[in-house]
Amino acid sequence: MVNQGLPHDQLSPAWQILMLGDGSPTRHLQLLTREPTEVDVIDMSPVSQTGDQAPDQIEQVPGPHLRRQVWLRTASGQRLAYAASWWEASHVDEYLKNRSLPIWASLAQLRTELYRDIQGIYFGHSAALERAFDQKGPFWGRHYLFWHHGKPLTLIYEVFSPYLIRYLGPMSSADRSGSDG
C-alpha cells in the first residue's frame, strides 16, 4: 500500500511527496522554507538490543546499536521534524563525522549512494509532540531503512510538524473545507 501511495482524501499529493518520496527530507525542508535545515541533537547514545521501542526493522541493522535523536529546524528556529535513527555503533563515525549535521548532509559529503526503503507510515496524536512543535496534531510520521552496498545501514523514524501546512497545503483533501488562515 505504501508503494502505491494513499488516497488523496487521506494524504494530499504534496504531503505524499514528502512522506513517501525517496528524496532527502532535510533537503526538501530546506527547499520549502528557503532556510538551511539545522539539527539540534537531543541524544546520541548506545541502546539495548531490546526494549528501545524501535520499529521491528531494527533487527536488520547489525548491533550493538547507537540511537541518535534530533529536532530538524529552520535556521530561524522553527521545529519541522523529529527524527530518531539507529546505527551500528562501531560504524556510525564513518558516516556521521560531524554529528551536528543532518544525515543527508553527512552522507552527501561522503558521496554515499543509498536506497531509502520506506517500511511504514503513521498518523496520530501526541501531547508531547504538540508541546515540542507548538502545533496541534495530528502528526504524520514514517520509518525507513537506508541500504548501502546491499546491506541495511540505518533505520530512521521521522515525524513531521503540522507547521509544514504553510508550505505544502492541507494534509488531505478532507482538510480543504476548513482554513486555518
Q: How far apart are CA 125 and CA 163, in angstroms?
A: 15
175 DSSP β-pair partners = none
Q: How many domains does the chain have?
A: 1
Confidence of residue 1 (pLDDT cuts 50, 70, 90): very low
Average pLDDT, the chain: 86
pLDDT at 38 over 80: yes
* Domain presence at residue 8: no
For residue 131 the three cell numbers come to: 508541546
CA distances from 176 to 12, 28, 95, 130, 136 (A): 10, 23, 41, 22, 17
Confidence of residue 107 (pLDDT cuts 50, 70, 90): low
pLDDT at 135: 96
pLDDT at 180: 41
* Domain presence at residue 54: no
Q: How far apart are CA 63 and CA 176, in angstroms?
A: 45
* Domain presence at residue 138: yes
* Domain presence at residue 143: yes
Q: How far apart are CA 145 and CA 168, in angstroms?
A: 25
For the segment 91-118, the average pLDDT, to the nearest whole number, is 72
The phi, psi pair for 134, rounded to 5°, reads: 55, 40
Q: For the whole prediction, is pTM greater than 0.85?
A: yes
**Which residue blocks in the chain are alpha helix, DSSP H?**
13-20, 25-33, 92-95, 103-109, 127-133, 165-168
In 60-180, beta strands by DSSP E: 65-74, 79-88, 115-124, 139-148, 151-160
Q: Which residues contact 79 (CB under 8 A, 6 or more apart)?
A: 71, 72, 73, 132, 133, 134, 161, 163
* Domain presence at residue 2: no
Please report, for the domain that includes residue 109, its CATH number.
Answer: 3.40.1410.10
pLDDT at 106: 67
Strands of the sheet containing 79-88, edge to edge, are 37-47, 65-74, 79-88, 151-160, 139-148, 115-124
* Domain presence at residue 29: yes
Per the structure, the complete domain to which residue 37 belongs is given by: 13-45+60-174
* Domain presence at residue 40: yes
Q: Which of 107-116, 117-126, 138-147 has the lowest mean pLDDT?
A: 107-116
* Domain presence at residue 3: no
pLDDT at 146: 86
For residue 91 the three cell numbers come to: 560504524
